[in-house]
Structure 1
């Protein structure tokens, strides 16, 4: 049973938040992927889907953290980066947009965790395709965030957020699944 749990935990850490985010978007006709941040869905005062969205983030972060704890065959640097990223995702769900600056800080820490993980993959992986993908993903993520913060394009952060997670997930699942 433990082996099966360990095997599917990384997948659950991606699928659980994804399902909750997609469901939250589906039940929020006001949400605009170009004009909003994903965290707008988790605003405890302004969003009726906030509990679903935030619980998805917390369970996703908890699953990622647990994956790092139980994955003894994985390099300890990956596990440390994943624990950091998992805890920061939990904090994004706990300290939603109602918390203002605190929410922004924990969100930035989460995306730094993603970047750190991709950097580690670029430095540590033996397969050239994984190294190349990790490097390219990291460059794209840095570019989309730089464009967003410098030019406010797109106006909302959802596109850079989705891009970051979408480029991170294949490397994460390759290493842990």
Structure 2
């Protein structure tokens, strides 16, 4: 990379859009460390409720973000060196978005159709009701947030890789 400073990316998008897959590819193909904000919430959900269903993780979101609105992002960034190239696999809340922007992160929005998202979540064994879980603030709060890039991910691997090549060829 020819950039004078480390590039940092944070992904936004709805559940099942493919943020984790895009983050994996960025990590693998561009040598950035992937940092997961959701892993802590899912672990807590498994411990407390025995599942990772959206209703359960959203309850945890609601409870713990009252303590610190960016609790999951802060926890995920612990141990990341200030100039380390990283990709945060998911921002969910406006406070996380503001914190990431303040730290110089570039934002990538990942989108997919509702049908594709529902199919992916079902394949993962996650219970997700679009009319209920899809209306939670963790799904909607960043709908209007500005993104530097958008990747449409309805399953065409070549299109996603082309979009990533375009993003990474631009530099900072």
The structure carrying a bigger helix percent of its residues is 1
- RCO higher in 1 or 2 (8 Å CA, sep ≥ 6)? 2
Using the size of structure 2 for normalisation, the TM-score is: 0.31
**Relative to total residues, which structure has the larger strand share, 1 or 2?**
2
Output the TM-score relative to the length of structure 1.
0.30
